[in-house]
Amino acid sequence: ALVFLLLLFAGFTASERRRRELDLALEEERVERLRVAGELRAARDIQMGMLPDPRRIEGLPITLDFFALLEPAEEVGGDLYDASMLDELRLCFMIGDVSGKGVPASLFMALTKTLSKSLARREQMPLEQVMRLVNDEVSRENPAAMFVTTIIGIIDARSGAVELCNAGHNPPIRLSSVRPPQELDGANGPPLCVDEAFPYTPQRLQLHSGDLLLLITDGVSEAENGKQVCYGTARIIDCF
């Protein structure tokens, strides 16, 4: 009986010590999760703060309207957009989607956006040269082998002329008040970081009064319902 009681006491003591160790580990894990969640919320705020407010594009002419919406699938993500005036008449815009999700994609997104905007604002630089330079720069030191699909475009607020370079991204959709929605030609080349020397070429189109140019990422077309059926581009066009 004495031996039994001693073994029972020893077992209880070991069990209690183990319980305290587990409680401590759980508390440390909880604190770590809260810390990471706080950092991700801060990263989300920083990432979203890098995107221009579509209602406050400085210098936007009254002949143009601009709207954008971005909702990351996680706290941070790799989708991006940007818009800024190159001069009094020309609006430069872009949309993009980095491979993957989460923090790595968001960092690559910030690099691509900043670099694209900086190069596009240089005077007298053709759009295809901007795309080639962006491709060359973001391809450097890319050990994770990430890539970016993107469209960079310039629209003339006076004439409605649009110039686009598409690197592997979803084709733009032109919405007209006098004709059915039209999905434009596909990409002019592969995504950025796939072929460093690819000679991207621009495509040109003419927008008329009341026309709208719709740019999306695959977050829209590949959204799934409960049966894992994708929304699809055809439904987007039908919706509009």
Would you give the DSSP letter of residue 192? Answer: B
pLDDT category at 239 given cuts 50, 70, 90 is confident
Q: pLDDT at position 10, please? A: 78
Q: What percent of the chain has pLDDT over 70?
A: 97
pLDDT(40) > 70: no
Q: pLDDT at position 211, please? A: 94
pLDDT, one tens digit per residue, over 213-235 is: 999 998 888 889 999 999 998 89
Residue 167, φ and ψ in degrees, nearest 5: -105, 80
pLDDT(156) > 70: yes
Residue 233 CB partners (closer than 8 Å, separation 6+): 170, 183, 221
Measure the CA–CA gap between 110 and 93, rounded to whole angstroms: 15
Q: What percent of the chain has pLDDT over 90?
A: 37
Q: pLDDT at position 37, please? A: 67
Place of tokens 């994609």: 105
User: Average of pLDDT values for 52-65?
Assistant: 91
pLDDT, one tens digit per residue, over 162-215 is: 999 999 999 999 998 888 888 888 778 899 999 988 999 999 999 999 999 999
User: Average of pLDDT values for 117-137?
Assistant: 85
pLDDT, one tens digit per residue, over 61-91 is: 999 999 999 887 777 778 889 999 999 999 9
**pTM (two decimals):** 0.81
Are the C-beta atoms of 202 and 214 separated by less than 8 Å?
Answer: no
Measure the CA–CA gap between 96 and 79, rounded to whole angstroms: 6
Tokens at 12, concatenated: 């209880």
Are the C-beta atoms of 125 and 134 separated by less than 8 Å?
Answer: no
Q: pLDDT at position 123, please? A: 63
Measure the CA–CA gap between 42 and 39, rounded to whole angstroms: 5
User: Average of pLDDT values for 21-45?
Assistant: 76
